[in-house]
Amino acid sequence: MTALWVVVKTGDYLFGCGTATPDLRSVNAESGVITDSLRIGSGAIIAADDMLYYYNQKGELMLLSFNNGKLQKVSSFKITKGTNQHFSHPVINKGILYRRHGGVLMAFDVRKK
């Protein structure tokens, strides 16, 4: 079985998950050492303003912090509008996080206040 990885690099760390494991992992980009993991399901990730936004295949959108590769879940909520699987990738443009679920497009202001 092939494991697909969705990865984002910020600072000295890579953050990502694969389809073969439900863990989001933090990896030191220079040494290749796994520095942390969270069992939050397979999903898609994006980074902005020193935060990670993670959308798993169960429809949960999470805000994660990271410090020296250590991951911490800050908040989360379930995407309830739309239909079908939760496979689309989050997009951030000018401080607005866009989420598509089926035929529904949602926008969230994620700018620092």
Give the per-residue pLDDT at 67: 94
Q: Is 25 within 8 Å of 41 (Cβ atoms)?
A: no
Answer yes or no: is pLDDT of 2 > 70. Answer: no
pLDDT of residue 1: 45
pLDDT value, residue 63: 96
DSSP string, 71-112: EEEEEEEE--SS-S---PPPEEETTEEEEEETTEEEEEE---
Residue identified by tokens 């969705």 is 6
What residue type is 17 in one-letter code? C
The pLDDT score that the predictor gives to residue 10 is 94
Give 22 or 72, the one with higher predicted confidence.
72
Looking at residues 43-67, what average pLDDT do you find? 92
Judge whether residue 87 has pLDDT over 60. Answer: yes
pLDDT top residue among 5 and 106: 106
Q: How many angstroms separate the CA atoms of 97 and 85, rounded?
A: 19
Please provide the average confidence, as pLDDT, over all residues in the chain: 89
Average pLDDT over residues 39-49: 90
Domains and CATH numbers, the chain: 5-80 (2.40.10.480)
- HSE toward the beta carbon, residue 65, CA cutoff 13 A: 4
Task: Say if residue 85's pLDDT is above 80.
Answer: yes
Report the pLDDT averaged over residues 15-42. 90
Contacts of 20 (CB under 8 A, 6+ apart): 1, 3
C-alpha–C-alpha distance, residues 54 and 79, integer Å: 12
